[in-house]
């Protein structure tokens, strides 16, 4: 038990402590592994000499649950956990999920909705003056006024609704140490207005240097165009080198001030973070409860980088981790991988080496390290920037070293390869070695859609780039004597996706010869550019009006079209085809999505559909058998073709 930070007052006393400096309240179970934010921040504070106690998943209905250690000397740290509590609890259709992977045994109901607000309010009722600092992804992405999908309205900054004093947003290592040192020096929390990577409240702007004045909360909550304009300003101020403070007025309640982001970690700093004395285990109190499912998914994976310059519009990484790449050294990763081989449960397989994007191992261009990322340009979209550094050599070298570690049988890459970055690399060494050593039959990639119109609103490359990747992937498979498939992820109902585009995607899925087991419907989560489009119907960076599929029935049709083979989806698919005038896809031909509906009238069968299909339905039994045989042969040929093309 001494290997873990204390979770009870008894354990605190066993360490000889009379009081903790910080009590860390989290919506996750306590897992002392660097894939969990609670573990990183608490171990980092410990390394600086601070006493930290963990209060995992307190019962928010009882004040006693947050009084485990009494009043901490310096303050409370509050996080909803590794996931936003609302995304954790609800599907995109707002139905309750059945499993919480960050709770013992996957049990649901061990954290409240809007966890940081609930936990913080409970603390404030009990400890009137003790500093409360919010962190984690839930607080980070709600740091200013934001559209809330679950209530379908614009809500305050979480700082106002929670009663907390500050938010440490982003990854938090730099800002949390500055906050801790300032509080330890005796500065009151209301004086901590200067720390990068933080958000605070104030009555006026006298303590803020050269701020950008955002539209007020009263304006953005009633005017969607103003909301989009405000979001665009925030989006262009996410870089630590060029961003300015931003001030958002709440009338008589004062201002919410967002300081510029903290600087990215250097490689040495990142190595130090991952070298802290984690047990890399679930706290023993959960053993009889079935463990923590989330750890099993990442226990034998390596985090090699942070940040992403991919710029997908439906992703919140720009607001959370930022666009500047930060990496761990080879030595740091090899040391962690070597420790894995000593684990009795390790079977010789490293499940992943990556991060938000696996194959990014350096900033997209060198000027980012001194001037930051471009405000009005993306690195890869719509086409790769002429200044983009496309180089997989460091990643290839790292993977080769990991493969040579005694006890390692196979090193997989599962966290996502950016296929347009692979295509842009003229040196195909990485692609060849990826196919030869790091794929287990299937490579999962994320083209997201096939319509260039939808891809434009997603911030993804054109469909032709994905097609080029498939050709190169197929060539690499042939060179290495492999027969492996690229399994694509697709998304339905993204802003800009009309029913016409949904049918186009269904046709592409048909030609691939497989049916996706799961379909990702677009989920409007806080602080993504796509969510802004979803709410306002406006592209915030261009002012362009965007079609948004919001009606639940329309969204259900778009989702059903991708799984048109499921008999339960037939009526929805038929409705979608009627809406788009694509009844040519109802019939018996190899290109048809569904069969005509047969009905009995006076002992005779009649087929609904086009006149051509009606005529086909009156054909002889032999013709039907011939058609079915042709259909089987067509499908068999599609599979053969897809096997040669590296697709399943």
Phi and psi at residue 288, to the nearest 5°: -80, -10
Query: Residue 30: inside a domain, yes or no?
Result: yes
| Residue 365 is assigned to a ligand binding site | no
Count of domains forming the chain? 2
> Which of 204, 223, 258 marks a domain boundary?
258
Q: Does 641 have pLDDT greater than 60?
A: no
Contact 168, 198 (CB under 8 A): yes
Task: Tell me the mean pLDDT in the region 465-487.
Answer: 95
Predicted confidence at residue 52, as pLDDT, reads 98
Contact 242, 371 (CB under 8 A): yes
Predicted confidence at residue 599, as pLDDT, reads 53
> Which of 231, 258, 285 marks a domain boundary?
258
Count of beta carbons in the 10 Å neighbourhood of residue 98:
8
Tell me which residue range forms the domain holding 38: 9-258
- Quickly state the pLDDT bin for 416 (edges 50, 70, 90): confident
Q: How far apart are CA 319 and CA 313, in angstroms?
A: 11
- Quickly state the pLDDT bin for 333 (edges 50, 70, 90): very high
Output the CA torsion 267→272→38→322 (10° steps).
-10
Q: How far apart are CA 176 and CA 120, in angstroms?
A: 17
| Residue 379 is assigned to a ligand binding site | no
Count of beta carbons in the 10 Å neighbourhood of residue 267:
12
Task: Tell me the mean pLDDT in the region 331-359.
Answer: 96
Query: Residue 263: inside a domain, yes or no?
Result: no
Query: Residue 425: inside a domain, yes or no?
Result: no
Domain containing residue 16: CATH number: 3.40.50.280
Phi and psi at residue 126, to the nearest 5°: -95, -40
Query: Residue 265: inside a domain, yes or no?
Result: no
Task: Tell me the mean pLDDT in the region 188-209.
Answer: 96
> Which of 258, 288, 303 marks a domain boundary?
258
Residue 632's Cβ-count burial label (10 Å; 0-12, 13-18, 19+) is exposed
- Model confidence over 86-134: pLDDT tens digits? 999 999 999 999 999 999 999 999 999 999 999 999 999 999 999 999 9
Query: Residue 34: inside a domain, yes or no?
Result: yes
Task: Tell me the mean pLDDT in the region 223-247.
Answer: 96
Q: Which long-range contacts (CB under 8 A, 24 or more apart) does 479-484 make?
A: 479/432, 479/435, 480/432, 480/435, 480/436, 482/435, 482/436, 482/439, 483/643, 484/435, 484/439, 484/441, 484/442, 484/443, 484/646
- Model confidence over 502-549: pLDDT tens digits? 999 999 999 988 777 777 899 999 999 999 999 999 999 999 999 999
Tokens of 451: 């319509």
Share of the chain above pLDDT 70, in %: 92
């Amino acid at each position: 038990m001494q290997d873990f930070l204390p979770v009870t007052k008894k354990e605190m006393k066993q360490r000889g402590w009379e009081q903790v400096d910080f009590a860390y309240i989290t919506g996750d179970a306590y897992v002392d592994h660097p894939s969990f934010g609670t573990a990183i921040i608490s171990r980092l504070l410990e390394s600086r000499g601070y006493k930290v106690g963990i209060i995992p998943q307190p019962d928010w209905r009882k004040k006693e649950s947050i009084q485990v250690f009494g009043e901490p000397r310096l303050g409370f740290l509050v996080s909803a956990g590794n996931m936003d509590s609302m995304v954790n609890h609800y599907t995109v259709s707002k139905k309750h999920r059945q499993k919480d992977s960050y709770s013992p045994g996957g049990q649901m109901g061990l954290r409240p909705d809007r966890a940081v607000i609930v936990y913080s309010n409970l603390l404030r009722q009990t400890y009137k003056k003790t500093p409360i600092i919010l962190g984690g992804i839930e607080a980070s992405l709600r740091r200013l006024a934001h559209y809330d999908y679950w209530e379908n309205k614009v809500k305050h900054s979480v700082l106002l609704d929670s009663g907390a004093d500050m938010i440490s947003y982003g990854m938090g290592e730099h800002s949390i140490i500055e906050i801790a040192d300032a509080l330890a020096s005796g500065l009151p929390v209301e004086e901590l207005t200067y720390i990068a990577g933080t958000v605070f409240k104030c009555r006026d702007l006298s303590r803020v240097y050269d701020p950008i004045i955002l539209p007020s909360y009263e304006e953005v909550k009633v005017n969607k165009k103003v909301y989009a304009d405000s979001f665009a300003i925030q989006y262009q101020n996410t870089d630590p080198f060029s961003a300015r403070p931003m001030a958002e007025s709440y009338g008589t309640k004062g201002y919410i001030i967002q300081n510029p982001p903290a600087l990215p970690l250097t490689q040495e700093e990142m190595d130090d973070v991952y070298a802290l004395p984690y047990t890399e285990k679930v706290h023993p109190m959960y053993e009889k409860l079935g463990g923590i499912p989330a750890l099993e998914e990442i226990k034998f994976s390596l985090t090699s980088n942070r940040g992403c310059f991919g710029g997908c519009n439906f992703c919140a990484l720009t607001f959370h981790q930022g666009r500047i790449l930060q990496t761990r050294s080879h030595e740091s990763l090899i040391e962690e991988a070597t420790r894995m081989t000593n684990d009795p449960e390790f079977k010789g397989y490293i499940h992943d080496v990556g991060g938000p994007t696996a194959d990014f191992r350096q900033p997209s261009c060198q000027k980012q390290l001194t001037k930051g990322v471009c405000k009005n340009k993306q690195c890869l979209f719509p086409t790769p920037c002429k200044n983009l550094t496309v180089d997989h050599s460091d990643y290839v070298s790292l993977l080769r070293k990991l493969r040579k570690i005694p006890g390692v049988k196979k090193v997989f890459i599962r966290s996502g390869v950016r296929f347009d970055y692979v295509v842009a690399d003229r040196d195909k060494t990485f692609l060849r070695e990826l196919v030869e050593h790091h794929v287990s039959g299937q490579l999962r990639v994320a083209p997201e859609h096939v319509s260039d119109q939808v891809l434009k609103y997603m911030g993804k490359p054109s469909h032709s780039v994905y097609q080029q990747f498939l050709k190169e992937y197929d060539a690499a498979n042939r060179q290495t004597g492999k027969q492996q498939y690229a399994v694509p992820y697709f998304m339905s109902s993204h802003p800009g996706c009309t029913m016409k585009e949904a049918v186009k995607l269904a046709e592409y899925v048909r030609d691939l010869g497989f049916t996706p087991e799961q379909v990702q419907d677009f989920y409007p989560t806080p602080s993504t550019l796509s969510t802004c489009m979803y709410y306002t119907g406006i592209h915030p960076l261009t002012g362009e009006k965007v079609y948004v599929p919001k009606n639940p029935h329309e969204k259900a049709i778009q989702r059903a079209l991708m799984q048109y083979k499921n008999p339960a989806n037939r009526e929805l698919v038929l409705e979608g085809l009627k809406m788009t005038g694509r009844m040519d896809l109802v019939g018996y031909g190899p290109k048809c999505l569904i069969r005509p509906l047969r009905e009995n009238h006076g002992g005779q069968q009649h087929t609904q559909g086009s006149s051509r299909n009606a005529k086909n339905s009156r054909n002889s039994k032999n013709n039907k058998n011939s058609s079915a045989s042709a259909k089987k042969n067509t499908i068999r040929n599609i599979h053969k073709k897809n096997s040669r093309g590296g697709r399943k």
